[in-house]
Amino acid sequence: MSGPAAPEALAEPSEQVGRGWTAALSVANGAIWAGWYGPLQILLALQAAELAPPGTPKESVLAWVTGMGAVVSMVCSPLFGALSDRTTSRFGRRTPWIVAGVAGGAGAFVLLAGADTVPVMALGWCLVQLTLNAAFAALTAAVPDRVPHRQRGAVGGWLGAAQILGVLAGTGLATAAGGVAAGYLACAGFAVLGALPHVLLHRDPALPAERRPALSGRSLLAGFWISPRRHPDLGWAWLTRFLINLGNALALLYLLYYLRDVLHRPDPGGGVLVLTAVNGVTLLGTVVVGGFWSDRVGRRQPFVLWSGVIMTVATGLLAGWQTWAGAVCAAALLGVGFGVFTSVDFALMTDVLPAAAHRGKDLGVINIANSLPQVAAPALAAPLVHHLGGYRMLYAVAAAVGLVGALLVRRIRGVP
């Protein structure tokens, strides 16, 4: 005799989601990425150069601020994922955290806009990471909540397209706003407006109070660890994502300074925008196609492997061909590789999740593989640039790290 059916919030999805749901989720996702990458690509670097104390390198200020924010992101993503798993609001498990996250993020951007010291700048960026990660953890968990396995590559592709459009929009807002403070305020407004369609137009299934997992500090802390011995596929998938993202973070961290100090571009901020646009065009050309193709053939590993190899070649170009033409070619190739990787790796990750009741928390742990490289990259990049060979060595190391990550995907056994 079978037990009671799982409530809608915990059931394995079987019906495909519609275009409207995918579009609204993608817009919200893109708005959050704009909120992250407008500052990361342009605003934080400019603000670090303005606020760095005499005798302190701007690169060190930027590394400390972004590193602190990444630590906050690393902790908050699984925390808010776990809290959303346990939320029994009539508005659903995920929607309350999306609303609170984007509203709090807007307030944090206002604080950043008025920052006049490095500590206030660091506090503001940490609050941005805390609040936007609350929203992002909930948005990410909505995919395994609502999307069946056979559709996740396609949905991951649209989310990936929204991600790069969000990066491009954030970079454009930061460049065109007319100043650091105006750029932060533009990012705040964009994040709030982008989340509204998903929040207002689409229902989030509610979790019955009697099915809420136990909540305690000990259980929350224990949830941060998913044993790779018990779940080896998840462990290898996590390590693959971490290393490829670390290689990408090393390549992008000092891009503004690379254009200014190595290539001597007269308008490095504009150069970053051009490279981001080139990257975005090629990424958009592959991210949705890669996801659909992966769903059609029923395989994930080959797409992740070869996308990582392409990204390795692109980063190697930055090490060996240090010209503006080389940078443009590298940006184009990075877009091709990262487009396929973004959609298919996301689907791969949702395919190896251990349990429906903990989707938000587990995806939060997986998302550490996105945020931890933002901590590790500054710690590695600063000594590489200043003491161990400069930008050529930085990009050579980034290429090697990404290649190792791509090769490790072959260790996954449960997903072809």
State the residue for tokens 């630590």: 71
Q: Is 5 among the domain residues?
A: no
Cα–Cα dist 167/42, whole Å: 11
Of 28-42, 264-278, 300-314, the least confident: 264-278
State the residue for tokens 């790779």: 228
Residue 64: pLDDT above 50?
yes
Q: Which pLDDT does position 197 carry in this prediction? A: 93
Output the furthest CA–CA distance in the chain (Å, rounded). Answer: 74
Greater confidence (401 vs 273) lies with 401
Cα–Cα dist 60/39, whole Å: 16
pLDDT digits (tens, 9 = 90+) for 311-357: 999 999 988 898 899 999 999 999 899 888 888 887 888 777 766 56
Q: Is 124 among the domain residues?
A: yes
Domain count, the chain: 1
Q: Is 1 among the domain residues?
A: no
Tokens of 413: 């056994």
Residue 307: which of 333, 346, 271 has the closest Cα? 333
Q: Which pLDDT does position 255 carry in this prediction? A: 82
Residue 352's identity, in one-letter code, is V
Tokens of 117: 């010291």
Q: Which pLDDT does position 295 carry in this prediction? A: 83
Q: Is 334 among the domain residues?
A: yes
Q: Which pLDDT does position 357 carry in this prediction? A: 60
Q: Average pLDDT, stretch 14-33?
A: 90
Burial class (CB in 10 A: 0-12, 13-18, 19+), 111: middle
Task: Put residue 231 in one of left, alpha, beta given phi > 0 → left and psi -120 to 50 → alpha.
Answer: beta
State the residue for tokens 């990750």: 349
pLDDT digits (tens, 9 = 90+) for 121-138: 999 999 999 999 999 988
Q: Average pLDDT, stretch 73-77?
A: 81
pLDDT > 70 fraction of the chain, expressed in percent and rounded: 92
Q: Is 10 among the domain residues?
A: no
Q: Which domain holds residue 75?
A: 19-411
Greater confidence (253 vs 188) lies with 188
Cα–Cα dist 39/48, whole Å: 11
Tokens of 4: 């009671």
Neighbours of 208 (CB within 10 A): 11
- Compute the mean pLDDT over every residue in the chain, rounded to the nearest whole number: 84
Q: Which pLDDT does position 6 carry in this prediction? A: 66
pLDDT grade for 231, boundaries at 50, 70 and 90: confident
pLDDT digits (tens, 9 = 90+) for 158-175: 888 888 788 888 988 888
Please tell me the total number of residues recorded for the chain in this structure.
Answer: 416
Residue 188: pLDDT above 90?
yes
Cα–Cα dist 386/78, whole Å: 34
Q: Which pLDDT does position 215 carry in this prediction? A: 63
Q: Average pLDDT, stretch 198-227?
A: 73
Q: Which pLDDT does position 71 carry in this prediction? A: 83
CATH of the domain at 155: 1.20.1250.20
Q: Average pLDDT, stretch 51-57?
A: 83
Q: Which pLDDT does position 224 carry in this prediction? A: 64
Contact 126, 375 (CB under 8 A): no
Q: Which pLDDT does position 217 carry in this prediction? A: 63
Neighbours of 222 (CB within 10 A): 9
Q: Which pLDDT does position 33 carry in this prediction? A: 92
Tokens of 173: 């807002």
Cα–Cα dist 253/41, whole Å: 8
Q: Is 9 among the domain residues?
A: no
Q: Which pLDDT does position 140 carry in this prediction? A: 86
Cα–Cα dist 66/372, whole Å: 11
Q: Which of 26-30, 334-338, 344-348, 359-363 has the highest mean pLDDT?
A: 26-30
Q: Which residues fall within 8 angstroms of residue 136, CB to CB, at 6 or more apart? A: 29, 32, 77, 101, 367
Cα–Cα dist 180/316, whole Å: 32
**What is each CA distance from 301 to 248, 292, 389, 407, 409, in whole angstroms?**
19, 14, 34, 10, 6
Q: Average pLDDT, stretch 269-287?
A: 85
Q: What are the backbone dihedrals phi and psi of residue 185, each rounded to the nearest 5 degrees, phi first?
A: -65, -35
3-class SS at 345? helix
Q: Average pLDDT, stretch 239-245?
A: 90
Residue 106's identity, in one-letter code, is A
Q: Is 3 among the domain residues?
A: no
Of 24-28, 281-285, 318-322, 371-375, the least confident: 371-375
Residue 1: pLDDT above 60?
no
pLDDT digits (tens, 9 = 90+) for 90-120: 888 899 999 999 999 999 999 999 999 999 9
Residue 260: pLDDT above 90?
no
Q: Is 394 among the domain residues?
A: yes
Greater confidence (153 vs 22) lies with 22
Tokens of 32: 């959050």
Residue 35: which of 100, 103, 109, 104 has the closest Cα? 109
Q: Which pLDDT does position 218 carry in this prediction? A: 65
